A and B are shown apart, each in its own frame.
Chain A
Amino acid sequence: AQSVTQLGSHVSVSEGALVLLRCNYSSSVPPYLFWYVQYPNQGLQLLLKYTSAATLVKGINGFEAEFKKSETSFHLTKPSAHMSDAAEYFCAVSDRLGGSQGNLIFGKGTKLSVKP
């Protein structure tokens, strides 16, 4: 069965510093992977997704993620953190056994804090 593990429930960085949020996945089929962001009191919003095309995926707000099959990882990065990036970030894998429309299996989330 598909699953994702997010390392670190809380990450704190200074404004302007590199953001690195870690996600490892487990999948019995080539995975479709996603990062979603949740701002306080809002729903989840798609940041970026990997669907077996380019391994380096660029998303909104300057975020990107690299799919590394050998490491079963899909870490999210941003070169320079901004105060507005403070939110909770969720990694997800699509449970698409049999090729049908899949459910999203979400990680536990990582809360990002940005210090001035």
Chain B
Amino acid sequence: DAGVIQSPRHEVTEMGQEVTLRCKPISGHDYLFWYRQTMMRGLELLIYFNNNVPIDDSGMPEDRFSAKMPNASFSTLKIQPSEPRDSAVYFCASTSSGSWNTDTQYFGPGTRLTVL
């Protein structure tokens, strides 16, 4: 299995630009999570999906952030417009409800976003 795939691995953009981060979960997993990691705030859950439906987006910082999951094998996290304070590493993770009682999440390698 290829694991969780994220693209791009690195993104440098200018303030005000739109940024789209992409994630392909492990095949067969029905939960998908987006996290943000910064030195100041550590690892924060932004949003998670179950069967492509957003379940909890209370961690999304503001309306500039949006996430979609059009099908079971693809999700996007969009920031529009981007700001320097959005600079962070964004992780995608997935898990299967078949193992719901163990809650193990499998993480992608992350996208390092730098907003100038």
Chain A's closest residue to B96 (CB) is A101
B25 interface residue (CB < 8 Å to A): no
- Given A101-B95, A101-B97, A103-B56, does the pair A94, B103 have CB atoms closer than 8 Å? yes
Assess the A43–B91 pair: CB atoms within 8 A. Answer: yes
Q: How far is the CB of A27 from chain B (nearest CB, A)?
A: 13
Chain B residues with CB under 8 Å of A106's CB are 42-43
B104 interface residue (CB < 8 Å to A): yes
Chain A's closest residue to B105 (CB) is A104
Contact of A43 among B31, B102, B104, B108 (CB under 8 A): B108
Chain A residues with CB under 8 Å of B105's CB are 44, 46, 104
Chain B's closest residue to A90 (CB) is B43
A107–B42 Cα distance when bound, in Å, is 8
Assess the B45–A42 pair: CB atoms within 8 A. Answer: no
Q: Mark A34-66, 1 if CB is under 8 A from B, else 0.
A: 101000011111100101000000000000000
A46–B103 Cα distance when bound, in Å, is 11
- Given A96-B103, A103-B33, does the pair A43, B42 have CB atoms closer than 8 Å? no
Contact of A45 among B31, B43, B48, B107 (CB under 8 A): B107
A107–B103 Cα distance when bound, in Å, is 16
Q: How far is the CB of B77 from chain A (nearest CB, A)?
A: 15
A79 interface residue (CB < 8 Å to B): no
Binding site for B on A (CB under 8 A): 32, 34, 36, 41-46, 49, 51, 90, 94, 96, 100-104, 106-109
Could you list 27 A-B pairs, sorted by A, with CB under 8 Å? Answer: A32-B101, A34-B103, A34-B104, A43-B4, A43-B91, A43-B93, A44-B43, A44-B105, A49-B102, A49-B103, A49-B104, A51-B101, A51-B102, A51-B103, A90-B43, A96-B103, A100-B100, A101-B31, A101-B103, A103-B33, A103-B45, A104-B45, A104-B103, A104-B105, A106-B42, A108-B42, A109-B42
For the A-B complex with A32-B101, A103-B45, A104-B33 known, give 19 more contacts whose Cβ atoms are closer than 8 Å: A42-B110, A43-B93, A44-B43, A44-B93, A44-B105, A46-B106, A49-B102, A49-B104, A51-B102, A96-B103, A101-B31, A101-B95, A101-B103, A102-B103, A103-B48, A107-B42, A108-B42, A109-B42, A109-B43
